[in-house]
């Protein structure tokens, strides 16, 4: 009797899992209970092969299950244009996961928020970035100051093995920290009053302490169980608190502790009498806007919790992405010395001195741009891309997709498409050079994603990548340490992480 009951329940369950829940969505790989298709992107990590295989099998659209939640994957450039670009408003929401509540205290920030909250704060952050000099010389000056700091550190170790990524990490953190809080991580002495004792630190020590927090996300979110728990609520519930909730809360409290401390310091120092005076960083601009709105009786949109979440989004999105890409760029060059040689030839021909390279030189350095483009294509930083949700009912390939369904612009498949990028597994900057030696514009190169939610920091990231990488390679020739070039193997995570590695630098001028 029990066996019959069990078999009946099991058959009904399988029928639901394999047929019923999938019948109204585009066909796709068969999900397994609890995990959906998430486990398949770990064999091999970070998932490009699985995405490629499914695109070959199911075409431009298929359904990918994250736990029990269906996501419509859009895999070809034509289909991305038809959906995320031409019908952009339909694809701008984000799926709200329970982890957001635990981690952020609600649907705050810009990465996970929706509707008016997202729109207002995206617009506000973009206009603040413009005010602090993006697209003008001011931002370039700030980045070039960090380039010179990087030079000083590398010059001091010329000819000996030195770890490359941490130096760029410090410099790129200084750029984003200046934008948000108005100061760099240099050697200036600071002090804290803790329990009646002054604790003396330099701002570089502060960065080292912060680094322990910054390094947590890959450690934390890069682990498969964390990735699964954050995406599959039922999986999160069965994991012991000590390996999911506790480390997440720990990270949240430490990160928010740092941001709140910065915000309070700003609040104490700002002259709120003159709300229209020029601000020197994002937090100051935000706090003045908050005060203006409060005077008009509006306290919801520019709240303190939203500010802390904005700082977290901009800080983390602004640091790891750019540092990782710079690190991968140098890793590739250690594997492909001929690319380095070609870059040096171009730099010698066009720049020909040790002066700092600026964005005014960009158009004259097609191979440098091609190398950065190819780095971004091969890094393919966010394999699954961030998951969006539909803002209204829509129809994709004849399937009725209800409002709130998960949708993903599969940019990693687009950047690995064999038709657009032949021999796509090979690192080849020349694919971006045309027959006249000029830089070729390829619209399918979309590392910053597409549509209305495309990367908010694209302008800043492009400027940083160009200035840091071109100046580094103009000044140095790099060769591998005695351990050889770093591994190019990619780990599975929300963002692909490079290895920390050492290299030997020789000054070229
Ligand atoms: C090489 C560097 C970078 C890459 C490859 C990159 C890539 C991306 C991608 C793929 C997305 C997801 C877009 C989507 O949802 O469709 C994104 C979103 C975002 N990025 Fe970046 N990013 C980089 C640098 C930056 C920087 C420097 C900042 C900060 C100033 C930043 C801030 C953001 C924010 C706030 C979002 C969420 C935007 C929204 O939901 O409206 N990113 N980025």
pLDDT digits (tens, 9 = 90+) for 142-154: 999 999 999 999 9
pLDDT digits (tens, 9 = 90+) for 75-97: 999 999 999 999 999 999 998 87
pLDDT above 80 (res 129)? yes
The residue behind tokens 């909250």 is: 117
Q: Number of structural domains, the chain?
A: 1
pLDDT digits (tens, 9 = 90+) for 152-185: 999 999 999 999 999 999 999 999 999 999 988 8
What pLDDT is recorded for position 225?
79
What pLDDT is recorded for position 193?
47
The residue behind tokens 């670009």 is: 85
Region 263-275: what's the mean pLDDT?
92
Q: Per-residue b/e over 79-102, b at no fewer than 16 CB within 10 Å?
A: bbeebbeeeeebbbbbbebebbee
For residue 322, report the distance from its CA to the centre of ligand 1, in Å. 10
Q: Where is 85: in which H helix or E strand?
A: none
For residue 173, report the distance from its CA to the centre of ligand 1, in Å. 15
Query: Which residue minimizes the CA distance to atom 40 of ligand 1?
Result: 111
Of 457, 465, 468, which is best to mutate to test ligand 1, by the most ligand atoms within 8 angstroms of its C-beta? 457
Query: Which residue minimizes the CA distance to atom 13 of ligand 1?
Result: 454
Pocket of ligand 1 (CB under 6 A): 110-111, 122, 313-314, 317-318, 321-322, 325, 381-382, 385-386, 409, 447-449, 453-457, 460-461
The CA distance from 160 to 402, in Å, is 59
Of the candidate ranges 44-53, 124-133, 211-220, 491-500, the one whose mean pLDDT is the lowest: 211-220
Place 135 in a pLDDT band, splitting at 50, 70 and 90: low
pLDDT above 80 (res 133)? no
For residue 291, report the distance from its CA to the centre of ligand 1, in Å. 28
The CA distance from 118 to 318, in Å, is 18
The CA distance from 20 to 123, in Å, is 42
Region 46-57: what's the mean pLDDT?
94
Region 385-405: what's the mean pLDDT?
97
For residue 51, report the distance from its CA to the centre of ligand 1, in Å. 21
What pLDDT is recorded for position 481?
96
By residue range, what is the domain housing residue 118? 108-380+415-507
Which three-class secondary structure state does DSSP give residue 55?
helix
What pLDDT is recorded for position 216?
65
Give φ, ψ of 474 to 5 degrees. Answer: -70, -35
- The alpha carbon of 219 is separated from its chain's Cα centroid by a whole number of angstroms, namely 15
Of 88, 112, 317, which is best to mutate to test ligand 1, by the most ligand atoms within 8 angstroms of its C-beta? 317
Q: Which atom of ligand 1 is nearest to the CA of 176?
A: 30
> Does a structural domain hold residue 30?
no
Q: Which CATH number fits the domain that encloses residue 370?
A: 1.10.630.10
For residue 313, report the distance from its CA to the centre of ligand 1, in Å. 9
Region 234-257: what's the mean pLDDT?
83
Q: Is the pTM of this model over 0.90?
A: yes
The residue behind tokens 């949700």 is: 389
Contact 214, 256 (CB under 8 A): no
The CA distance from 272 to 314, in Å, is 24
> Does a structural domain hold residue 101?
no
Region 230-240: what's the mean pLDDT?
81
pLDDT above 60 (res 197)? no
For residue 274, report the distance from its CA to the centre of ligand 1, in Å. 33
Q: Where is 102: in which H helix or E strand?
A: helix 98-104
Give φ, ψ of 480 to 5 degrees. Answer: -65, 155
> Does a structural domain hold residue 146?
yes
Region 363-389: what's the mean pLDDT?
96
Region 482-498: what's the mean pLDDT?
84
Q: Which atom of ligand 1 is nearest to the CA of 113?
A: 40
pLDDT above 80 (res 196)? no
pLDDT above 60 (res 384)? yes
Query: Which residue minimizes the CA distance to atom 19 of ligand 1?
Result: 455
Of 321, 446, 450, which is best to mutate to test ligand 1, by the most ligand atoms within 8 angstroms of its C-beta? 321
Mean pLDDT over the full length of the chain: 90
For residue 457, report the distance from its CA to the centre of ligand 1, in Å. 6
Query: Which residue minimizes the CA distance to atom 41 of ligand 1?
Result: 453
Q: Please report the DSSP string for 365-416 in residue order.
A: -HHHHHHHHHHHHHH-S-SS---EE-SS-EEETTEEE-TT-EEEE-HHHHHT
Q: Which atom of ligand 1 is nearest to the CA of 179?
A: 30
The CA distance from 454 to 412, in Å, is 14
Region 257-261: what's the mean pLDDT?
89
Residues annotated within a binding site for heme: 455
> Does a structural domain hold residue 195?
yes
For residue 220, report the distance from its CA to the centre of ligand 1, in Å. 20
Q: Which atom of ligand 1 is nearest to the CA of 129?
A: 30
Query: Which residue minimizes the CA distance to atom 18 of ligand 1?
Result: 455
> Does a structural domain hold residue 364?
yes
Q: Which atom of ligand 1 is nearest to the CA of 453?
A: 41
Residues annotated within a binding site: 455
Place 41 in a pLDDT band, splitting at 50, 70 and 90: confident
What pLDDT is recorded for position 5?
86
For residue 456, report the distance from its CA to the centre of ligand 1, in Å. 5
Residues 6 or more apart from 189 whose CB is under 8 A from it? 200, 201, 202
How many CA atoms within 13 Å lie on the side-chain side of 22? 22
pLDDT above 80 (res 223)? no
CA distances from 486 to 85, 326, 498 (A): 37, 14, 9
Which segments of 270-358 does DSSP mark as H helices, in order?
A: 282-295, 304-335, 337-350
How many CA atoms within 13 Å lie on the side-chain side of 206? 22
> Does a structural domain hold residue 125?
yes
The CA distance from 167 to 162, in Å, is 9
For residue 316, report the distance from its CA to the centre of ligand 1, in Å. 10
Q: Which atom of ligand 1 is nearest to the CA of 460?
A: 27
> Does a structural domain hold residue 63?
no
For residue 278, report the distance from its CA to the centre of ligand 1, in Å. 27
> Does a structural domain hold residue 22?
no
The residue behind tokens 């000056």 is: 141
The CA distance from 254 to 105, in Å, is 14
Of the candidate ranges 50-64, 109-123, 482-496, the one whose mean pLDDT is the lowest: 482-496
Q: Which atom of ligand 1 is nearest to the CA of 454?
A: 13
Q: Which atom of ligand 1 is nearest to the CA of 409?
A: 16
Of 114, 115, 126, 455, which is best to mutate to test ligand 1, by the most ligand atoms within 8 angstroms of its C-beta? 455
ipTM: 0.99
């Amino acid at each position: 009797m029990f066996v019959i009951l069990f078999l009946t329940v099991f058959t009904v369950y399988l029928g639901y899992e394999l047929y019923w829940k999938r019948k109204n969505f585009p066909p796709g790989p068969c999900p397994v209970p609890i995990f959906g298709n998430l486990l398949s992107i770990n064999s091999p990590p970070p998932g490009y092969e699985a995405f490629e295989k499914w695109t070959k099998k199911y075409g431009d659209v298929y359904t990918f299950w994250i736990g029990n939640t269906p996501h419509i994957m859009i895999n070809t450039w034509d289909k991305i244009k038809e959906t995320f670009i031409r019908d952009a408003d339909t694809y701008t929401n984000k799926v709200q996961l329970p982890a957001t509540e635990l981690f952020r205290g609600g649907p705050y920030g810009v990465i996970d928020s929706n509707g008016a909250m997202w729109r207002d704060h995206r617009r506000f952050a973009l206009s603040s970035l413009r005010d602090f000099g993006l697209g003008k010389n001011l931002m370039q000056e700030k980045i070039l100051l960090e380039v010179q700091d990087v030079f000083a550190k590398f010059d001091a170790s010329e000819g000996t093995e030195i770890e490359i990524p941490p130096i760029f990490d410090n410099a790129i953190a200084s750029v984003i920290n200046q934008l948000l809080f108005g100061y760099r991580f240099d050697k200036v002495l600071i002090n804290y009053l803790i329990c009646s004792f002054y604790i003396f630190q330099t701002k570089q020590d502060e960065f080292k302490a912060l680094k322990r927090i910054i390094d947590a996300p890959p450690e934390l979110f890069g682990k498969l169980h964390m990735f699964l728990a954050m995406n599959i609520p039922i999986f999160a519930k069965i994991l012991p608190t000590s390996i999911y909730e506790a480390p997440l809360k720990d990270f949240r409290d430490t990160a928010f502790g740092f941001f709140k401390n910065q915000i309070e310091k700003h609040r104490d120092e700002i002259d709120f009498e003159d709300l229209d005076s020029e601000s020197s960083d994002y937090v100051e601009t935000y706090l003045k806007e908050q005060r203006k709105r409060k005077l008009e009786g509006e306290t919801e949109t520019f709240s303190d919790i939203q500010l802390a979440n904005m700082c977290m989004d901009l800080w983390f999105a602004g640091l790891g992405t750019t540092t990782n890409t710079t690190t991968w760029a140098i890793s590739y060059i250690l594997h492909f010395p001929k690319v380095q040689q070609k870059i040096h030839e171009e730099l010698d021909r066009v720049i020909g001195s040790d002066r700092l390279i600026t964005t005014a030189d960009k158009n004259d350095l097609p191979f440098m741009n091609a190398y950065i483009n190819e780095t971004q294509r091969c890094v393919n930083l966010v394999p699954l891309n961030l998951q969006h949700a539909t803002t209204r009912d829509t129809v994709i390939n004849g399937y009725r997709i209800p409002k709130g369904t998960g949708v993903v612009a599969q940019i990693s498949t687009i950047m690995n498409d064999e038709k657009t990028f032949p021999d796509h597994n090979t690192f080849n900057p020349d694919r971006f050079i045309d027959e006249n030696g000029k830089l070729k514009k390829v619209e399918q190169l979309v590392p910053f994603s597409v549509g209305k939610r495309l990367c908010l920091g694209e302008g800043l990231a492009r400027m940083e990548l160009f200035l840091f990488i071109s100046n580094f390679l103009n000044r140095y020739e790099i060769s591998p340490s005695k351990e050889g070039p770093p591994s190019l193997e990619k780990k599975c995570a929300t963002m692909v992480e490079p290895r920390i590695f050492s290299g030997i630098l020789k000054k070229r001028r």
